[in-house]
Amino acid sequence: FPVTIQVGSQSVTMLELQRSVENLNRQTGNEEGRREANIQSALNQLIQEKVMLEEATRLGWTPADLEVA
């Protein structure tokens, strides 16, 4: 998938962004003014997630350490 943003070794893809925006649109509404805010919110959230994953990797944490289900 095309990469939208590279955060260290982590990538945010267009598909991830699209799914996140669609989820926010369902939760908050899909009005014109709301869509732009949802895109920005989704992108910010995905970047934060990738930064946390990058830091966890740097610290040597594994999924078992993070208790990912």
> Mean of the per-residue pLDDT values for the chain?
86
CB atoms near residue 38 (< 10 Å): 22
What is the value of pTM for the model shown? 0.79
Angle at 7 between CA 2 and CA 11, to 5 degrees: 30
Residue type, 13: T
**Statement: residue 64 has pLDDT above 80:** no
How far is it, in rounded angstroms, from Cα 23 to Cα 50?
A: 18
| Per-residue confidence (pLDDT) for residue 2, from 0 to 100 | 74
> What are the tens digits of pLDDT across the range 40-63?
999 999 999 999 989 988 898 876
Tell me which residue has tokens 């990738």: 50
Give Cα 21 to chain centroid, integer Å.
10
